[in-house]
Structure 1
Amino acid sequence: MGVMMDYFAATAQELAALDFDAGPAGNDWPYVDCKGWILEVEEFAAEIDGRDPSEFGRDEPLGGIPDAEFLGPWTARINAELVDTLARIGDGQIRDYADEYLLEAWEAERLVALAGLARSAVTEGRALYSWSSV
């Protein structure tokens, strides 16, 4: 059994219409599929931006708190500082990072997609969220 995780962008009104059980994929929303991925997004963004991951603050849990009994789904709003940092990171910086740290090509593409999602969220006035389930 593994954890499924997707990142998506939404306004508060759009989020209110989300079927949390189905997640963003089941609602036909744009999302970045991060299932089976162990790279910590905060660590990646901090490394590229020359910061400590603790500087990003905490995400805001919105529904369901995972524990030994709870299998999900749960959703969290990604903290604004991390979203802004992801939005500033260029695709070339991501590819350089991927080369330096010997990431697989699919990992680099996933990071590029996640940074692109953050850029569109900032531009369109949406927040970035993670959706997870076991």
Structure 2
Amino acid sequence: MSALSLKPILVVEDSVEDFTALGRAFRKHALPNPILRCEDGDQALEYLQGYGKRPGWPQQLPAFVLLDLNMPGTDGRAVLAVLKQDPQLQSIPVIIFSTSTNSRDIEECYRLGANSYLTKPIDYAVLEEKTRLLVSYWLNTSELPLLG
């Protein structure tokens, strides 16, 4: 197992229910990586812009970020924009994971630099399949940058 595959997966999600279901789906597919949850955009930026500086936060950057769009406070669009403009963070893959199927949201996210856009399924079996594909593609198939 490569060191890259053990980097944390950052999930930026304000919904406890969505995070719990996602965590269950990741466990079903035996994701070896630790999952780090940030409950809002501000917390995500605090971790990403200051990783390794706060006790309890991982000492390395995540393999990828799974980012919800619609959160209170700093929303996913703002987090995405900051990440993709920061030279130290811009090569981290950011996968938008949102209930929105609005074409304007999708276009804006890609314009801001999203690496992928997935809609949150209502059906748990579909969530499991999307999670399996996420793990397979981003951790086992694609070549990711060696950051942090």
| TM-score in same-fold range (> 0.5) | no
Smaller-chain TM-score bracket: under 0.3
Higher strand proportion (structure 1 or 2): 1
Higher RCO by CA contacts (8 Å cutoff, separation 6 or greater): 1
